Chains A and B, each alone.
Chain A
Amino acid sequence: MTPEILMLCALGAFLELDTTYAFQFLFSRGIIAGPLLSLVTGDLMSGVQVGVFTELVFIDVNPLGGVLPPSAVGCCVVSLALHAMGIPLCFAFFIGVLGAAFFSFMERSMRLGRCGWVVYQEQKIVKKASQLNWTILVSLAQAFLLALVGFVFICSVSGWIMVRVLPFIPERMQMVSAIAYMAVPWIGLTTLICNFNFKRGGK
């Protein structure tokens, strides 16, 4: 784990707050998070591509109601971190997608796990209204720490495994993985056309 990857995870954790917990300026969407995170690694082109591919691969999952879609920032952080470790982008992105889904599972567990704490805080808020500010602050800190720990964990474990496994991966496996990777924008662009279906929008 290099300082560069740690910085990437920290910036990613900060951007991840924008997904749900604060602002919602959409800094956390793939096309913005990817290039922003690539400023840390210095590989702007990979950042743009990972960002676009992330957005297209997750275009059909939205945070409706209590649905927690895979983290776009998580996907960008893991993909760019692995790519910075020397893993080809076709593998790095695949691990990034899996990492994003795993991070969503972690986040769901955190939200479920803090139900007891929320009830306790509600009781305190009713007694003292100013406790609300503290509750919001602690919740934001929880979310930031979860994202930081989650990203560092996923990057280090997957990076450690991939660096050791990569020399044994046959060349044809790399080639077919690259084909699957190149398929992402086409699947995504076709989904976009379906996404703008008038039946769902209505007039």
Chain B
Amino acid sequence: MNFTMHLRLFFRSFFLQAAWNYMRFQNIGFAFVMLPVLKQIYKKDTDELPSVLVRYLENFNTHPVMASFCFGALAKQEEILAHEKSLPRYTEKIAAWKEIKRSLSITTASIGDRFFWGALKPFTLLIALMLWLCMGVNIFELSEAGSISYTQVFVALAVAFILFNSIALWVRWKGITLGYKYNAKACFGLTHFDWNRTTYWVKWAGMIFSCLMLGFAIIYFLRDFKDVDFRLVARMLLVFTCVVLSLISRRLRIANMYVYILMMIIFNIACFF
């Protein structure tokens, strides 16, 4: 795969989910990303393209960033398939291609969901929150509009944005190369990274940061009180109730959104009595 083709796959991969649908998920986006590769492989045999496209329009669903491994691996498999002359072996290779597509999409989806959505995204949120609190931006109470500068806001945003995207874009780019370069024995380049270890360390760091953040936030929230009075007790009670409520809702698998909505409804009903 030359650099131009790599670049085209990379840019087209941003539109993988453009036509997401409940029937075949990312199938149209997948065909859209792979079209330049297919056109190049079948440039001498354009009659073959419609039947090939039918294969690409079958079910496809994976994580948008990790999908790059699928693009690289399936481009390589398509090249092998296109050069196959004997019909029985061609049928065999098509079955293998479908199996690779199915298994690779499931594996990459699992890794991507766990690493990008489950670890990296919340970790970058923590970094932004930490930076804001360190710069004196009180996110817990609404201050005057003029009390916050653009620099304070956008420095933290830029750090969170760059941290997430530098990793995501690098994996997107590198995934195409690795998927194309390695075969099934090397898991199409997936084993090039130690995903479990990386996820473990990000989660470990996230756990420490979030505990620190919670402690820091409590100190920040109560910092203006010099004596123990009703307002201080009320605030401490609020924090304690919310922490306990959140832990209970985690156990019961109730989403935060519903906890908040329920609190709003119960508080409003209770205030009439």
Contacts and interface: CB of A to CB of B under 8 A. Distances in A.
Contact of A132 (B22, B32, B196, B261): B32
B75 interface: no
B55 to A, nearest CB: 10
A180 B263 contact: yes
Contacts of B247: 190, 194
Interface stretch (A7-15, A113-121, A148-156, A157-165): A113-121
Contacts of B129: 52
Given A31-B128, A192-B126, A194-B250, A125 B31 contact: yes
A176 B20 contact: no
A45 B152 CA distance: 11
Given A52-B129, A203-B197, A186 B243 contact: yes
A100 to B, nearest CB: 8
B260 A97 contact: yes
B113 A64 contact: yes
Given A22-B14, A173-B268, A192 B50 contact: no
User: Interface extent on A, as a size class?
Assistant: 35 or more
Contacts of A201: 114, 118-119, 199-200, 203
A118 B59 CA distance: 13
Q: Chain B's interface: helix, strand, loop or mixed, by majority?
A: helix
Chain B's interface size range is: 35 or more
B72 interface: no
Nearest to A139: B19
Interface string A131-152: 0110110011001000000000
Nearest to A64: B113
Nearest to A116: B23
Contact of A23 (B14, B57, B61, B249): B14
A35 B154 contact: yes
A25 interface: yes
A168 interface: no
B49 to A, nearest CB: 6
22 contacts: A20-B17, A22-B18, A31-B125, A35-B154, A48-B137, A49-B142, A61-B255, A97-B260, A114-B21, A115-B23, A121-B28, A125-B31, A140-B15, A140-B18, A177-B268, A183-B242, A186-B243, A191-B256, A193-B211, A194-B250, A198-B207, A201-B199
Interface of A: 20-26, 29, 31-32, 35, 42-49, 52, 55-66, 70, 89, 94, 97-98, 101, 111-112, 114-115, 118-119, 121-122, 125-127, 129, 132-133, 135-136, 139-140, 143, 170, 172-173, 175-177, 179-180, 182-198, 200-203
